[in-house]
Amino acid sequence: MTLSALKSIIHHRDQAGQNMLSISPTYMLYYLPLIVTVALVFGATRHENTTLVLNHAWQTAKWITGFMGVIFVVLYIIGLLT
């Protein structure tokens, strides 16, 4: 692989990375109150016992965060390859 080809790939990746994170990371803060609310309401609409509500909320928060994380990684990789 020539040096120019390597530079081209790095430049391409850099561009892709910038595109993926073209918004300020502080926008991610909008996610925090939303996940707390959604998880707690989901948990509380499935149980009466407070411990079970909190346990369900924690599981829901982890599941949603994990799901969105996977989507982010997939899109990021697609961004790098295209």
State the residues that interact with other proteins by CB under 8 A.
Answer: 23, 27, 30, 33-34, 36-38, 40-42, 44-50, 52-53, 55-56, 59
- Tell me how far apart the alpha carbons of residues 31 and 13 are, in angstroms, rounded to a whole number: 26
The nearer residue to other proteins, 15 or 50, going by C-beta atoms, is: 50
Angle 69-29-10 (CA atoms, 0-180°, nearest 5)? 55
CB of 65 to other proteins, least distance (A): 16
For the CB of residue 15, give the shortest distance to other proteins in the complex, in Å. Answer: 22
Name which of 8 and 19 has its Cβ closer to other proteins: 19
Q: Give alpha helix (H) positions in the chain.
A: 3-20, 31-44, 50-81
